[in-house]
């Protein structure tokens, strides 16, 4: 076997050039809470970088990559203040009704937020998600099709 396949690089050079995290091509809309999360992540990474033993090339590279990502997201963030209204929009908390796999009607409530703050397990989805895009601009009682399933908007809150 060739030595090229088994020899480890000396001094951690393999970690010095981690590829940057991909940046979404979509506008970086964020809620005020989303901007606070981004700022907190930048502050945390800056603290980590300040206390890091810079001989740990892998960790230095990871923190640098993540800090570049979050700084870029902070610099492009466009805060969307919450507004009230009768239609679904960015920042709305929406309750929908749809059938699950067994045919039983299921209610789901979620808030439409920016890409970096979306976490379906915590009840938030990105504004670029197919469901969010399908119901944006809709009102209570409107029915839309998402991925072959009907979804009815039953409640909208700011």
Q: Mean pLDDT, 10 residues at a time, over the chain (158 residues)?
A: 50 66 96 97 96 88 95 98 92 93 91 97 97 97 93 95
HSE value, Cβ hemisphere, 13 Å, CA-based, for 116: 32
Q: What pLDDT score was predicted for residue 99?
A: 86
Supply the pLDDT for residue 34. Answer: 97
What's residue 2's pLDDT? 52
Write down the pLDDT at residue 53.
84
pLDDT for the residue numbered 13: 52
Tokens at residue 58, please?
């892998």
pLDDT at 41: 98
Residue with tokens 């920042």: 91
Q: How far apart are CA 143 and CA 152, in angstroms?
A: 4
Give the C-alpha separation, 91 to 34, whole Å: 11
């Amino acid at each position: 076997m060739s030595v090229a396949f088994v020899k480890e690089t000396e001094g951690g050079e393999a970690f010095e050039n981690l590829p940057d995290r991909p940046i979404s091509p979509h506008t970086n809309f964020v809620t005020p809470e989303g901007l606070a999360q981004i700022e907190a992540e930048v502050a945390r990474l800056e603290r980590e970088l300040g206390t890091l033993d810079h001989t740990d090339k892998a960790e230095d590279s990871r923190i640098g990559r993540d800090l570049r990502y979050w700084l870029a997201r902070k610099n492009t963030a466009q805060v969307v203040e919450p507004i009230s209204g009768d239609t679904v929009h960015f920042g709305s908390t929406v309750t929908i009704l749809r059938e699950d796999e067994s045919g039983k009607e299921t209610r789901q409530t979620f808030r439409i937020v920016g890409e970096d703050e979306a976490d379906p397990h915590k009840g938030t989805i990105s504004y670029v998600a197919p469901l969010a895009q399908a119901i944006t601009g809709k009102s209570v009682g409107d029915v839309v099709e998402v991925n072959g399933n009907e979804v009815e908007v039953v409640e909208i809150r700011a």
